[in-house]
Amino acid sequence: MKFVVWVPLLIPLLAVPVARRVTARLSPRTAAWTLGACSALLGVCSTAALGVLALGGALQIAPVAALEGISPGLLDDRTQLTLPVGILAAGLLVGAAVAAVAVVARNWRELRAARQAAGTASGELSVHPDERPYAYALPGPFGRRGRIVVSSAMLRSLSAEEREVLFAHERAHLAGRHHLFLSCAHLAATLHPLLRGLREPLTYALERWADEVAAEAVGDRQLAARAIGRAALAAVAPEGRPRLVPGATCGPVPRRVAALMDSGTTRATGPRGSRRRLVAALLVGCLALSAASTLHAANELHSSVEMAESRTDFR
């Protein structure tokens, strides 16, 4: 456990830039799922590694070790640094837990306030009489159907065809439950600061996912690009908009418009395709190494405790 337990804490240094590079070449839907899975897995593994370090340190304290019926001196992985590292890991673990609870509570409050502001009228569309142009997809509580929140100023700034693009985009966010992807990324970044690097590409992938769905719904990529660009130019950030709520005007809009204008995609072949496959394999290796290292560290600690118990029984 002395060395392998550090792998899940350090692997994001490599995994995050590799994931950003890999997903830049994937379809938006695949990229979003990949980034979301990377955030979740790396966040869970790093937190579990801190837990293993904290538990290993706690077992160096005689009263704690006595609860397991062992003596700290009988543990195989005992070093002079085990206890101070365990104390540090426990502090980081508590801090991460408190921060995660605070993030969840804040997001819940923001969503509840936004739902109250949207009103209780039936229908998927909630039009706010506001001179500030904005639009976003507001998810419903506990898996219920969400609503599209749009201001009257935004509706006036778009033509009828462009409004259809806007609505299709927001429907895609609601149908795909994209706020859950963002919530996962926010929590992962709270658990491990290095994972903040995955939030921006994930936001972009989710917006591109909704862009493609909207373009397919209206059957005109040029119209979709024009509508997204016009809505973004007119939009302002509304007060009280939750952080987890996606919208058509989020993310790097020029890149999104350029992607919509590009009607075809080219598949990499030859050396370039081989490099991409190599980078993808590297990402898979990073994730597998993080998970395997976490399990191995936990198993080593468990085996050390069992060995100490057997020695105590033998005495």
Instruction: Tell me the C-alpha to C-alpha distance, in Å, between residue 82 and each of 54, 55, 106, 139.
Output: 9, 10, 36, 46
The reported pLDDT for the residue numbered 314 is 45
Let me know if residue 29 belongs to a domain: yes
Laid out side by side, the sheet with 147-151 consists of 125-128, 147-151, 135-138
The reported pLDDT for the residue numbered 311 is 60
Let me know if residue 307 belongs to a domain: yes
Identify the band that residue 276 occupies on the pLDDT scale cut at 50, 70 and 90.
confident
The reported pLDDT for the residue numbered 226 is 92
Let me know if residue 150 belongs to a domain: yes
Is residue 30 scored above 50 in pLDDT? yes
Let me know if residue 271 belongs to a domain: no
CA-based angle 162:149:201, to the nearest 5? Answer: 75
- d(CA 202, CA 182) in angstroms, rounded, equals 8
Written as six digits, the tokens of 189 are 């970044």
Q: Contact, 23 vs 31, CB < 8 A?
A: yes
Written as six digits, the tokens of 263 are 């009607």
Let me know if residue 269 belongs to a domain: no
Let me know if residue 267 belongs to a domain: no
Identify the band that residue 251 occupies on the pLDDT scale cut at 50, 70 and 90.
confident
Compute the mean pLDDT over every residue in the chain, rounded to the nearest whole number.
85
Cite the beta strand spans of 110-163 per DSSP E.
Answer: 125-128, 135-138, 147-151
Q: Contact, 224 vs 218, CB < 8 A?
A: yes
Q: How many CB atoms lie within 10 A of CB 281?
A: 12
Q: Contact, 183 vs 159, CB < 8 A?
A: no
Let me know if residue 270 belongs to a domain: no
Which one, of 294, 293, 286, lies nearest residue 51 by Cα?
294
85 or 273, which is more confident: 85
- Give the structural domain span for 159: 4-262+276-314
Q: What is the pTM of this model?
A: 0.87
Read off the pLDDT of residues 44-55 as tens digits, 9 standing for 90 and up: 999 999 999 998
Written as six digits, the tokens of 259 are 């992607």
Let me know if residue 268 belongs to a domain: no
Written as six digits, the tokens of 125 are 């569309």
- How many domains are contained in the chain? 1
